[in-house]
Each structure stands twice: as C-alpha cells, then as structure tokens.
Structure 1
Amino acid sequence: MCLPRLLSLGLALCLLASGALAGAWPQAKGAGFASATVRLSWPQDLGTWTSLEPTGQYRTLYVEYGLTERLTLGLDLGRSVSGDVKTVAFLRWPLRQSDPGLRVAAEVGLGQIDGAAVLRPGLSLGLGRDWGWMAADALVELPGGGRAAAKLDLTLGLHLPSDRMLLLQVQSGAPADGPGFVRLAPSLVTPLFRKVQTEIGGSWSLTGDRTMGVTMGLWTRF
C-alpha cells in the first residue's frame, strides 16, 4: 500500500474510532508533561550484523505545559522526519472538545531543522473510551527554501491493571529526501515512582529503512 493511501486510511480509521499523551487532549492550566526517550536500531537482516553495536540511535526530549485551559505550549527536541536534528517550540489549541466524542486540536510550531528555520503546522484527532483511546497526530515540516516533509502517528492505547498502559502505534512519514517509511512501534508504560513512568518498547519497519529497534524512555507529569 502506498504511503498517501496509508495516511488517508489511518485518518479515516481514527475518525470512525484518550488520553495519556498530548495531541487532541490539552494540558490543564499550570500542569505539564515531559518525556525523554532513546531509540536504538539495527538492520532486520541479521546476516549484515558485524557487531551488537546499534547502527542507528537518537534521543528525544518532549515537554508540554498548559498556559491556559485552552492553550498548550510545547518544546520538541530530537530528530525530524528526515532524520536531521530539530528544535521546535509549538503552541496547540482545541478546535473541538467533546467528551466522550471526537476531539480535534491544531498546532503551529516554529524552530530549526538542521540549522534551517522551519514552520511546523499539525492536526490531532482523539477519541477516548473507558478501556483506552485512539489518536492520530499529523505534522508537516515546512523549511524555508526546502522541501516539505510529513509525519503521521496512529496510536491505540489500552489501560491495563496497576496503572500500566499498552501503546500500539503505527508511525509513518514522508521525508523531504528519500523513501517514505511505515513502522510498527508497540510499548509498555509502567509506573516507576510517584509521577514518573517508564516506557519500554520496540519497532519494526514495514517499508523504508528496513530496521528494527528498541525504545526506552522516562515520562513525568508536573
């Protein structure tokens, strides 16, 4: 299935279908969320391995803070859709907040990708249920004088006993240069102490870079 058809199908599924993570759910005024994540990757073809050292790795830092009941300020540090270093600050606001119906939020981000200025608009859809949530988060990176890149994450979140959460995610993107990618990325979120949680997961590329990976992260609310 080609990437544009996959992206269209994913948005449709979420509209027919939250929430632990950001996206369509704004942060409450004066409250915040932060996560630090490391992702290590290796080729799926074990025959190409020359050592156990990962062939790819990147780190991300993500922070949100509720400026008001309707405005959420955020900072996104890490790697862009095309794999370049990014620093983006963004502001998100709700377009439709219906509980338990569909939630819609828009955002606009400004920052740098690989040293070049970038504008990053986004749209998030979410639907919460007693058992968990479904969400779609789409972003477009518009660098000044460069080619656009796009990303769409589809998430199914399940509430588990003992305040744990199972996240089943499809991550897809269309880099500015290079083939599009689609990968599966399940993870388990477990309470560590007080307001801190751990995320342990993996990833498996279906198209694009043909890698597999391990994800480790820490979440906190403040």
Structure 2
Amino acid sequence: MSRLAACMLTLLLALWAGGVMAGPWPRGDGEVFLSFSVEQDGDGNRYTGLYSEYGLNPRHTLGLELGHSTAGESSVMLWSQRAMDGGEGPDRLTLSSGIGVIRREGKLIPLVQIGAAWGRGLDGVPVLKRLPGGGWLAVDARAKLARSEEGEPDRTPDANGRWSSRQVYLTPKTTIKAEVTLGWKARPSLMVINQLRLEDRDDLGFSAKLATSVVRDLTGPAKIELGVIMPLAGEGEPALKIGTWIQF
C-alpha cells in the first residue's frame, strides 16, 4: 500500500475515532507518527483526539495534540521533547515542554506544559524479561497550567468616574497527569498495552483509570487499536476506545 493510501485509510478510520502521552523513545530523524482515536463512556461522554510526532533529529521530537470533548472543550498543544540520555544502556529519559490553548465556553485560555518520561525495554526488567516477544515499560508525567479569566463586581469608579462591570484577574488551573505503561508484543503483528492513568485536577480532584488495549497491524504502516478503560478511583464511567496508528 502506498503512503498516500495508508494515510487515507487512517483518516477514514478516524471517523470512528483521546490523547496519548509522548513516550521516552525519540522518533528517528524525519520519522512521523500519527494517532487518531476516540474514547466514549456509557453516559455518552466522548473525547476525540489527534496526536502526532515528528523526529526533528536523533535527540529532538516535535509533537502536536488536538482534542475535543462533548463537554464543549477543545484544545491544541504544541510541544518539544529532548532526549536526556546518550542513547546507550537500558534506560531512556526525556524532558519536554509545550504551549497551547483551550477553548471553553467561547473563551480562549492559554496553556503551558512541562513533562518527563522514563522507559526501558522488558529485556532489562527483572521478571518481565521472561515474557516471550518482549515489550517495554514506561512512566510518563506532565503538568499543565492554564490561566483563566475570572472576576467579580467592582464597586469603585475609575479615574474618569466610570464604573467597571467587573474586576478581572487571572487564576491558574493546574492538571497533573501520570501514566505507567506496560506494552507486550504478544506476536509480531499484535501488541497488548496496559496503562495505569493517574490525574489530579483543580476542578475534579484525583482520578485513576486502568486502560487495556489491543493493537493489531493492518496493511502497510497502519495499525488499529481497540480497548476498554475502567475507572479505579474518582469520577468516571467505563469507556471504550477505538483508534488507529500510522508511522512512516
């Protein structure tokens, strides 16, 4: 299948199509990774996301994330990741930073992000290295800070005697996320991915979820992902996930 045909196939599957987090393995020079996916729970809440990575050089990866939820929130994030290890030994470590914006209730809210990731192949992990086929273990963490406008009535006139409708001030909204991922290459064309998702938000508090996905090769560079997401703590309902990956 040609590269163009594979991209078209992925876009078609995206019509079925949440976001993923950057792993600690940088993309190769000039490599592109795309992921389209959707997660929907039993209450009809849905998150649709586009995630992409581009290997700028052996140590730097650029990323773009677009997301939209049925709660009426859309977001875009542009980030850069740098490998902090020398590419030798079992461990991989990266640091990242990004800027973006959230659109909520017709307002645009600036967003900044910092993150770190660690990973190791299963051949370097005691006990897990016994799994046939190999795989990887990774820990990703990031913090997002959004500054939103809020206000309250201002009862004092300005220097010209005019009354202000409200006093506006910026309030930081913090979200901290962490994911622990265990990926297993059960077969050359089949991967099983278990992921513990932890999140702490100013507005919703702490939550924990367990996501299990099966990723299978399609024709050419495309893959399809099917999974379930189960809440362990905090708000949330069981959800289903379907998406596609493509790398070239």
Normalised by the length of structure 1, the TM-score is 0.80
1:169 corresponds to:
195
> Which of 141, 144, 147 pairs up with 1:141?
144
2:24 corresponds to:
24
Letter in 1 for 2:40: L
Matched, 1:195 2:221: yes
Partner Cα separation in structure 2 for residue 165 and residue 195 of structure 1: 15
| Structure 2 CA distance for partners of 1:195 and 1:91, relative to 1, 3 Å | same
CA contact (8 A) 2:22 2:140 kept: no
Q: Deviations over 1:69-115 (max 9, x none)?
A: 111011011159x9942100000001124444211100001010232
2:33 corresponds to:
33
Partner Cα separation in structure 2 for residue 89 and residue 124 of structure 1: 17
1:129 corresponds to:
122
1:33 is displaced (CA, Å) by 0.5
| Structure 2 CA distance for partners of 1:174 and 1:22, relative to 1, 3 Å | closer
Normalised by the length of structure 2, the TM-score is 0.72
Q: Deviations over 1:110-134 (max 9, x none)?
A: 0102321111010011011341110
3-state SS, counterpart of residue 204 of structure 2: coil
Runs of 4+ in 1 over 6 A off after TM superposition: none
Percent identity between the aligned chains?
Answer: 30
**Unaligned stretches of 5+ residues in structure 1:** 1-20, 43-53
> Which of 49, 62, 65 pairs up with 2:54?
65
Letter in 1 for 2:23: G
Letter in 1 for 2:140: D
CA contact (8 A) 1:100 1:128 kept: no
Partner Cα separation in structure 2 for residue 158 and residue 208 of structure 1: 28
CA contact (8 A) 1:197 1:218 kept: yes
Partner Cα separation in structure 2 for residue 108 and residue 189 of structure 1: 28
Partner Cα separation in structure 1 for residue 86 and residue 209 of structure 2: 30
Partner Cα separation in structure 1 for residue 63 and residue 236 of structure 2: 31
| Structure 2 CA distance for partners of 1:194 and 1:104, relative to 1, 3 Å | same
2:129 corresponds to:
none
Letter in 2 for 1:78: G
2:233 corresponds to:
207
Mean Cα deviation higher: 103-112 or 145-154:
145-154
2:44 corresponds to:
55
Bigger Rg over Cα: 2
Partner Cα separation in structure 2 for residue 122 and residue 84 of structure 1: 22
Partner Cα separation in structure 2 for residue 153 and residue 83 of structure 1: 25
1:103 corresponds to:
92
3-state SS, counterpart of residue 125 of structure 1: strand
2:111 corresponds to:
118
**Unaligned stretches of 5+ residues in structure 2:** 1-20, 124-133, 148-169
CA contact (8 A) 1:100 1:129 kept: no
How many residues align? The count is 190
Partner Cα separation in structure 2 for residue 172 and residue 71 of structure 1: 26
Partner Cα separation in structure 2 for residue 22 and residue 110 of structure 1: 15
Cα RMSD after superposing both structures: 1.9
